[in-house]
Structure 1
Amino acid sequence: MGIKLVCYGVRDTEVEFFHKLNKYGYELKLVNTGLNHENVKEAIGAEAIMVRGNCMADRQNLELLAKSGLKYVLTRTVGFDHVDLEAVKELGLKSARVPGYSPNAIGELAVSHAMMLLRHTAYAVERTKNKNFIVDAEMFSKEIRNCTVGIIGAGKIGLTTAKLFKGLGARVIAFDVFQSDAAKEVVEFVSQEELIKTSDVISVHMPYIKDVNYHFINKEFISNMKEGAILLNTARGELQDLDAILEGLESGKVGGFGTDVLEGEKRFFFKDLNGQELEDPTVEKLVNMYPKVLITPHIGSYTDEALTNMISISYDNMNEYLTENTCKNAIA
């Protein structure tokens, strides 16, 4: 096609995938950092850009690029709150997203967090790293097959996570306003109240909807949890009130917390802040509660399969626009 496509936020490990999957022959320019007000100049003259979450596809950048020929804004993510849709429409641009990618990528991370917290492996390895090989009371644990795992949000990702936990022998229950037939074959649907009250492990897989479920995990949620239960969030940072979770951890109500997301996470994620005090005191305290708290920097989709899905679908979206002037995954 010969169209110039500038892709932002491309890590070194991803470069090979971008080239290998380029079956349409786009003229690629890969930029290591996420789109910001400085590196926007890398895309001047390009007809299309591809961004990821935490990129600044805001009015300032889009206006600048539109003046030099930008027509398409692709995001290789499911969520698109980092793309200014009003500006996209006003500038006559076209934009599309990736409606979904490997649910196993997120599910496997949730299970990894759960098992590390349940079996206290991070705690044990932290001690052996310091050559302390004594087995103490903290290392004693339940087996997952003797636990009830509660899945909040039983869509593709939640259902895949449920299957993984079930494969380990756990009893898996779920809450969702929409109960699919596929999910009914795997989980036992219960009320939200019952799930929170009876689960030994709670894993959240719901989308964030502004003005609907902001800080869904709050003081009341935590007060209703089973004593010492493990809480996991690999969905969206806006779903959790970190102050309430911190309080729950400090009181022992929450036995362990694993998260791949934080509200306002671009303040921290993808930066090396070693030796610095974080600007958010709550996040600072949570980081220091390791190994009771496990924080990963939004790596849920950082797998070979998920990356392949995200790039391939984005390339297909571009091709659809070029050949049909429309796209089934359009967001604007």
Structure 2
Amino acid sequence: MTLKIVAYGVRPNEVEFFHKLNKYNYELKLVEELLTHDNIETAEGQDVVLLRGNCVADRQNLEKIKSYGIKYVFTRTVGFNHIDLEACKEMNLMVARVPAYSPNSVAELSLTLAMMLLRNTAYTTNKTKNYNFKVDAQMFSKEIRNCKVGIIGTGKIGLTEAKLFKGLGAEILGNDPYPNENAKEILKYVELDELLKESDIVSLHIPYFKGENDELINKNFISKMKDGAILINTARGELQNNEDIYDAIKSGKLAGFGTDVFPNEANTFFKEFSSGDEMEDQSVRRLVDLYPKVLVTPHVGSNTDEALKNMIEISYDNINEVLTTGETKNAIEAK
């Protein structure tokens, strides 16, 4: 019998990859929309549910999935906070993830946002698109080789970004509770307060742990940053307090903010609004309206050819491992 997989949040440009990489000949049902309470019925008749970030895998949906006779709820993401692991454990649903994918995908986006803000390219091109070619004071900038870049979280992604900035001549500072020996050739480890005080650019690459580092980027965090610094978050939206960042940009404490994430971003990302008034989270609107000092991308850090290939291949391998051995090394469960 051919295994049936329903995958959610499959963008049109990803369809070809799902079919081309299907070396196990699974029967695929590719759904463009994210999994919600309104479309959970599309999982009926399938053997495996394959999610992406911001899919709703709460108890309500998991009970439905269980009732359909599905045993496997897998995600093609590193993060898994969109899945109720406690409910999965109770219902004996196996969960697996993709533990890593191309670190360059997110690291390159972080660097791009930072460099756009440092060199004021969004500001400048926004002027020239209106045929204004005058050079003003806002277009003046430092060169990156005269800057210090602080990387918070020096795992694969953080270290990759550090290497990219190092290649451009920047001095790199790092902070991580678990220092990476390989990273010490690229950066200097310092305490968080020192990193914030010294860095012209601060970039986050740390996981989100509910109840532990919620809104890490808040008024107190920002107050310790260098005046006129640039802040980048391509990690998790729950790490930031939107209002405190807004206040810091408005006051001039921060020169710029680049983000690929927001708290509760499913309410905003992957939707189109005719006006900002329609947005459920008005703190997001206020930040977006600060363009070009605030640059927002809708969680596209992993939206690259290599990262997509990694996520699909590893997801397919996870499923095959379970079918052939009864388990997978990438399984996760509630502690």
Normalised TM-score (structure 1): 0.98
Question: Which residue of structure 1 aligns with residue 262 of structure 2?
Answer: 262
Distance in 2 of aligned mates of 1:300 and 1:165: 17
Distance in 1 of aligned mates of 2:293 and 2:252: 10
Q: Note if contact 2:321-2:328 (Cα within 8 Å) is conserved in structure 1.
A: yes
SS at match of 1:50: strand
Question: Which residue of structure 1 aligns with residue 301 of structure 2?
Answer: 300
- Aligned AA for 2:252? G
Question: Which residue of structure 2 aligns with residue 154 of structure 1?
Answer: 154
Question: Which residue of structure 1 aligns with residue 111 of structure 2?
Answer: 111
Q: Shift of residue 280 of structure 1?
A: 2.5
Q: Note if contact 1:256-1:293 (Cα within 8 Å) is conserved in structure 2.
A: yes
Question: Which residue of structure 2 aligns with residue 18 of structure 1?
Answer: 18
* Per-residue CA distance 1:41-79 (angstroms, 9 max, x = gap): 111011111001110112222222222221111100111
Q: Shift of residue 149 of structure 1?
A: 0.4
Distance in 2 of aligned mates of 1:53 and 1:82: 7
Question: Which residue of structure 1 aligns with residue 324 of structure 2?
Answer: 323
Q: Note if contact 2:268-2:281 (Cα within 8 Å) is conserved in structure 1.
A: no
Distance in 2 of aligned mates of 1:266 and 1:67: 26
* Per-residue CA distance 1:233-279 (angstroms, 9 max, x = gap): 00011111111111111110100000000011111000001324123
1:4 aligns with 2:4: yes
Q: Shift of residue 85 of structure 1?
A: 1.4
Question: Which residue of structure 2 aligns with residue 72 of structure 1?
Answer: 72
Trace 1:132-171 onto structure 2 (pairs within 5 A): 132-171=132-171
Question: Which residue of structure 1 aligns with residue 203 of structure 2?
Answer: 203
Q: Shift of residue 7 of structure 1?
A: 0.5
SS at match of 1:173: strand
Distance in 2 of aligned mates of 1:274 and 1:206: 34
Distance in 2 of aligned mates of 1:197 and 1:89: 44
Q: Shift of residue 216 of structure 1?
A: 1.0
Distance in 2 of aligned mates of 1:93 and 1:282: 36
Q: Note if contact 2:267-2:281 (Cα within 8 Å) is conserved in structure 1.
A: no
Q: Note if contact 1:148-1:171 (Cα within 8 Å) is conserved in structure 2.
A: yes
1:230 aligns with 2:230: yes
Trace 1:177-216 onto structure 2 (pairs within 5 A): 177-216=177-216
SS at match of 2:28: strand
Question: Which residue of structure 1 aligns with residue 39 of structure 2?
Answer: 39
Distance in 1 of aligned mates of 2:97 and 2:328: 10
Question: Which residue of structure 2 aligns with residue 249 of structure 1?
Answer: 249
Distance in 2 of aligned mates of 1:31 and 1:283: 27
1:63 aligns with 2:56: no
* Per-residue CA distance 1:3-30 (angstroms, 9 max, x = gap): 0001111000000000011111101110
- Aligned AA for 1:303? T
SS at match of 1:14: helix
Q: Note if contact 1:45-1:65 (Cα within 8 Å) is conserved in structure 2.
A: no
Distance in 1 of aligned mates of 2:5 and 2:153: 35
Q: Which moved more, 1:33-42 or 1:130-139?
A: 33-42
* Per-residue CA distance 1:181-220 (angstroms, 9 max, x = gap): 1111111111111100010000011111122211111111
SS at match of 2:178: coil
Distance in 2 of aligned mates of 1:240 and 1:276: 21
Aligned residues: 332
Question: Which residue of structure 2 aligns with residue 290 of structure 1?
Answer: 291
Q: Note if contact 2:276-2:285 (Cα within 8 Å) is conserved in structure 1.
A: no
Distance in 1 of aligned mates of 2:59 and 2:224: 43
- Aligned AA for 1:296? T
Q: Which moved more, 1:257-266 or 1:64-73?
A: 64-73
Q: Shift of residue 93 of structure 1?
A: 1.6
SS at match of 1:160: helix
Question: Which residue of structure 2 aligns with residue 279 of structure 1?
Answer: 280
- Consecutive unaligned residues in structure 2, runs of 5 or more: none
Distance in 2 of aligned mates of 1:130 and 1:87: 54
- Aligned AA for 1:3? L
What is the root-mean-square deviation in Å for CA atoms of aligned residues?
1.0
Q: Shift of residue 282 of structure 1?
A: 2.1
Distance in 2 of aligned mates of 1:145 and 1:276: 38
- Aligned AA for 1:96? A
Normalised TM-score (structure 2): 0.97
SS at match of 1:285: helix
SS at match of 1:294: strand
- Aligned sequence identity (%): 60
Q: Shift of residue 103 of structure 1?
A: 0.6
- Aligned AA for 1:287? V
